[in-house]
DNA sequence: CACATGATCGCCT
DNA sequence: GGCGATCATGTGG
């Protein structure tokens, strides 16, 4: 039984007509492709029968055993990281700095430990635009904790994802945030965000057109 | 805006 | 024993 943490009520929404759940193959594609495809998708959370969620606007790709920034780097395989080795479409949630949760969507197939970190989302209209701006704030706002790690997004449970419907956002690319220790991998261009979203994390966007 | 700091603890070596 | 895939707050320019 997963401990149910309450989402922020300001993220409440009606999920009907927002999109459809992608099939497993959507998640099994290469990780950069999935990281880009997730921009504009809705991450949903059900709590006591009501739905909450945000539209994903910022992601980072973590490329597994060859990526020093990834928890699965060098084939590290511990109980914490185990969900990264699951089939695409599972959730990998971990705790950072002893107090914040970060949520990832697992990509590729079983035994291929790659994932996409969800860094920011736009809350529904009316909510503060930066309510879910940051990987920990996104988890906090939607009530996602490490208890959800290993859950399958396709199992019809209380955490789900709806594929983007409509045009692709304008995507900007940069190195990943907070992985300075990862040597050469620290400069890889694996962070993707919606150029026009006011909900991207970090100090005020000022990326050139 | 740019930086610096503290909070807080699970995880890995 | 050391260190984070972070954030809010504080200072100074």
- Distance of C1' in B9 from CA in A93, Å: 16
The answer to whether the beta carbon of residue A136 comes closer than 7 angstroms to any atom of strand C is yes
Which pLDDT does position A2 carry in this prediction?
73
d(CA A120, CA A165): 18
Which domains does chain A show, CATH number per domain?
9-194 (3.10.300.10)
Q: Using CA atoms, how far apart are residues A60 and A58, in angstroms rounded to an integer?
A: 7
| Beta-carbon count within 10 A of A199 CB | 26
CA–CA separation, A85 and A82 (whole Å) = 6
Task: Give the pLDDT of residue A207.
Answer: 56
> For position A209, what pLDDT does the model report?
46
Q: What is the pLDDT of residues A65-113, one digit of tens each?
A: 999 999 999 999 999 999 999 999 999 999 999 999 999 999 999 999 9
Calculate the alpha carbon distances from A5 to A2, A45, A47, A106, A185 in Å. Answer: 9, 10, 8, 22, 34
Q: Is this model's pTM higher than 0.85 or not?
A: yes
> Does any strand B atom come closer than 7 Å to the Cβ of A98?
yes
Q: How far apart are the first and last CA of chain A?
A: 47
> Which positions on chain B have an atom < 7 Å from some protein CB?
1-2, 7-13
pLDDT at A204: 64
**Ramachandran sector of residue A11 (left: φ over 0; alpha: ψ -120 to 50; beta: rest):** alpha
Residues in chain A with pLDDT values less than 50? 208-209
- Chain C: positions less than 7 Å from a protein CB are 3-8
């Amino acid at each position: 039984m997963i401990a149910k943490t309450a989402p922020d009520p300001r993220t409440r929404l009606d999920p009907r007509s927002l999109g459809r759940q992608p099939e497993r193959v959507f998640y099994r594609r290469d990780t950069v492709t999935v990281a880009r495809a997730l921009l504009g998708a809705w991450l949903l959370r059900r709590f006591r029968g009501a739905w909450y969620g945000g539209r994903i606007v910022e992601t980072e790709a973590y490329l597994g055993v060859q990526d020093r920034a990834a928890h699965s780097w060098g084939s590290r395989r511990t109980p914490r990281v185990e969900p990264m080795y699951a089939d695409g479409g599972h959730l990998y949630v971990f705790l950072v700095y002893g107090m914040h949760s970060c949520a990832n969507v697992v990509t590729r197939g079983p035994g291929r430990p790659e994932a996409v970190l969800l860094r920011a989302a736009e809350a529904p209209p009316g909510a503060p635009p930066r309510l879910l701006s940051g990987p920990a704030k996104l988890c906090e706002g939607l009530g996602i904790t490490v208890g959800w790690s290993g859950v399958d997004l396709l199992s019809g449970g209380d955490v789900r994802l709806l594929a983007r419907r409509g045009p692709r956002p304008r995507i900007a690319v940069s190195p990943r945030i907070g992985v300075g220790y990862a040597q050469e991998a620290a400069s890889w261009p694996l962070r993707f965000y919606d150029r026009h979203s006011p909900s991207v994390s970090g100090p005020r966007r000022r990326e050139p057109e």
